[in-house]
Amino acid sequence: MTNPRISPALDEQARAILRGNDRGGYTVPTDGLYPYQWNWDSAFAAWGFATFDLDRAWTELETLFSAQWDDGMVPHIIFHRPDPGYFPGPDVWGTQVSPPTSGISQPPVAATMARLILDMDPEAGRDRIAALYPKMLAWHRWWRDYRCGSGVVAITHPWESGRDNCPDWDIGMSNVDGSNVGEYTRRDTGHVDPSMRPGKADYDRYIAMVQFGRECGWDQSEIVKNGPFLMADPGITFILLRAHDDLAAMGRALGHDVSEIEGWAADLRAAVPSIWNAETRGYDARDLKTGRFSGRIGSAAFLAYLAGVESPELDARMTELWDAVRYGFPSADPASAEFDPRRYWRGPSWPVVNALMAIGLKDRGHHAAAERLRRETAELIEQHGFFEYFDPIDGTPCGGDAFTWTAAIWLTWAG
């Protein structure tokens, strides 16, 4: 038996947001602020669509993979149509591919979302996943070939992590020279309150990293070897581990030999202890240029559950961070000096990360914690609507409104 829905009216609003952000085969995260297709947003959108339009759900994933690069990468932004409302746009990235895209990737949640969607109707999804499977496999191989050189997953730009300005990246960012990027005009700060967005020093460095990539023709080996930024990301490490397992399960059901994926997952799992920081008692980002830990623990550390990684110490640490706030899980440690409850990934509670954490917690038998996360996230949406993120202390809604992934997780999980 399924639980009764909290609010049919909010369900209808959530569906209207997904339909309203649909640009024909792909969904924008929110109108204005993010006018293109973003990688992990789209995967969550697909999950949301699946609650009322399975065909449209598969189409979302198919459109995402239609922009896959020859080397297997699925880019973080696909610029289907020009839109002056976002910076940096396709001309700044200069990737020379069609459709134009950015030159980095984003958290690979697509296989995990595809499996959830497939489970809703295996018969209806069979041909769709059969066609997507080799593309997903090629993308997972790309992560392995271009980002797992140190064992766990490395990112070459904070945007690749999806958690743009979180404190995890501060030590890596401090080595990036943003002083020579030239003049540019940001668009994000025209759409939402600038105090809820990354600062100018961060943006200068983000652009410097994009310029490095463009100048080397987006040669991924060169970016990893000589680019200005390379950090191990606990978030993508756990997401990819989970996604490997989900992809292997779908591959098996399709009758494929999945030993290659199982090998990647085993290697990745074996590398996980290298990001355990005994000092901060958590899974920590690491600057791969210096070997130093960031010394910051945030929500990504607790995506461990999603990958089936857990320990009593991790449970205790999770409770410490969580009990310091009221609404959902904070993206940064509330006890740290960097914690900023409304500045984007430096403290706010993100419904979409709460959902991923809860999937992991539930799978590991932490039912009470998973339910607490769901309830607190639902309260935020019930009280304020479908915002991008929220102040975890007083619930203030932040960033963009009518947000696709917030609507999607309401329909699938929170509501």
Nearer to ligand 2M8, 76 or 140 (CB): 76
From candidates 60, 164, 202, 246, binder to ligand 2M8 by CB under 6 A: 164
- Which residue of the set 60, 164, 245, 284 is catalytic? 164
Could you tell me which residues are beta bridge partners of residue 283?
276
Interface with ligand 2M8 in residues 193-252 (CB under 6 A) = none
Closest contact distance (angstroms) between CB of 251 and ligand 2M8 is 27
Cβ pair 61, 46 in contact under 8 A: yes
From the list 9-17, 32-40, 144-152, 257-265, the region that binds ligand 2M8 by CB under 6 A is 32-40
The yes-or-no answer on residue 164 being catalytic is yes
Nearer to ligand 2M8, 40 or 293 (CB): 40
Nearer to ligand 2M8, 41 or 170 (CB): 41
Cβ pair 298, 166 in contact under 8 A: yes
Cβ pair 106, 162 in contact under 8 A: yes
From candidates 44, 133, 159, 264, binder to ligand 2M8 by CB under 6 A: 159
From candidates 29, 90, 108, 351, binder to ligand 2M8 by CB under 6 A: 29
The CB density around residue 55, as the number of other CB atoms within 10 Å, is 11
φ/ψ of residue 183, rounded to 5? -80, 140
- In eight-state DSSP terms, residue 414 is I
Three-state DSSP at 79 gives coil
Nearer to ligand 2M8, 54 or 300 (CB): 300
From candidates 34, 69, 79, 387, binder to ligand 2M8 by CB under 6 A: 34
Residue with tokens 């706010």: 348
Question: Whole-angstrom Cα distance, residue 273 to residue 245?
Answer: 19
Query: Please, what sign has the CA dihedral across residues 65, 251, 46, 52?
Result: positive
Closest contact distance (angstroms) between CB of 316 and ligand 2M8 is 28
Closest contact distance (angstroms) between CB of 21 and ligand 2M8 is 11
Three-state DSSP at 223 gives helix
Residue with tokens 């973080």: 76
Nearer to ligand 2M8, 158 or 360 (CB): 158
Question: Whole-angstrom Cα distance, residue 297 to residue 310?
Answer: 15
The reply to whether 339 sits near ligand 2M8 by the rule CB under 6 A is no
Select from 356, 379, 355, 359 the least CA-distant residue to 367: 359
Omega cis (within 30) before 88: yes
From the list 118-126, 158-166, 290-298, 377-385, the region that binds ligand 2M8 by CB under 6 A is 158-166
Closest contact distance (angstroms) between CB of 233 and ligand 2M8 is 12
Nearer to ligand 2M8, 202 or 277 (CB): 202
Q: In what order do the strands lie in the sheet with 286-287?
A: 154-155, 231-232, 286-287
DSSP one-letter string for 309-364:
---HHHHHHHHHHHHT-SSS-BSB-TTSTT--TTSTTSS-B-HHHHHHHHHHHHHT
One character per residue 54-93, x = contact with ligand 2M8 (rule: CB under 6 A): ----------------------x-----------------
Closest contact distance (angstroms) between CB of 93 and ligand 2M8 is 11
Query: What type of residue is 221?
Result: S
Buried b (16+ CB within 10 A) or exposed e, 253-278: beebebebbeebbeebbebbeebbbe
The yes-or-no answer on residue 388 being catalytic is yes
Nearer to ligand 2M8, 46 or 261 (CB): 46
Closest contact distance (angstroms) between CB of 110 and ligand 2M8 is 13
One character per residue 37-56, x = contact with ligand 2M8 (rule: CB under 6 A): -x-xx---------------
Closest contact distance (angstroms) between CB of 45 and ligand 2M8 is 10
Query: What type of residue is 46?
Result: A
Nearer to ligand 2M8, 50 or 408 (CB): 408
The reply to whether 293 sits near ligand 2M8 by the rule CB under 6 A is no
User: Any idea what the Cα angle at residue 59 is, between residues 408 and 386, rounded to 5°?
Assistant: 15
Q: Which residues are catalytic?
A: 164, 388
Site residues (vs ligand 2M8, CB under 6 A):
29, 34, 38, 40-41, 76, 159, 162, 164, 188
